[in-house]
Amino acid sequence: MYLAVTLSRDVCSGSMSDPNQNGGAWTLLTGHGHVLVEVARNPEARIRDISPVVGLTERSVQAIVADLEAAGYLTRTRTGRRVVYTVNRDSLFRHSAQDGHRVGPFLDILAATGTEITPGPDDPADAGPGHT
């Protein structure tokens, strides 16, 4: 029994990020999420422009764009020799934990180019640091 527990722990910890790496190597969004956010930021971006921003190969980005288009998250329109993408902001998240939530508001937050922090609906508008 001890061997099984030890092996199980080793397998699990071996597949997880090393906690000594300042949070590990994982990211909060999947490749699909990163690509969708980047397309929302720059609908005229080419696959080769998106690739270095999201840290994936051009081939991976191309496959993800095809997935997003097939699932209805993106529409591809050819304008001359260029392709312009349109994000379907009314698309719903695919996971049951976000059932009924649309991707548009999520993309608004992540695709924002400014660094201004806007108070949320529960935050007092005029409260400074340390005030409630």
The per-residue pLDDT for range 82-91, each reduced to its tens digit, is 999 999 999 9
Distance CA 35, CA 41 (A): 10
Given a cut of 90, is residue 14 above it in pLDDT?
no
Decide: helix, strand or coil at residue 85. strand
The beta strand positions in the chain, using DSSP E, are 74-79, 82-87
Given a cut of 90, is residue 33 above it in pLDDT?
yes
Share of the chain above pLDDT 90, in %: 47
Distance CA 114, CA 14 (A): 38
Mean pLDDT value across residues 104-128: 68
- What pLDDT, on a 0 to 100 scale, did the predictor assign at position 116? 53
Mean pLDDT value across residues 37-45: 94
Given a cut of 50, is residue 11 above it in pLDDT?
no
Domain 28-111 falls under CATH 1.10.10.10: yes
Given a cut of 90, is residue 12 above it in pLDDT?
no
Give domain limits for the chain. 28-111
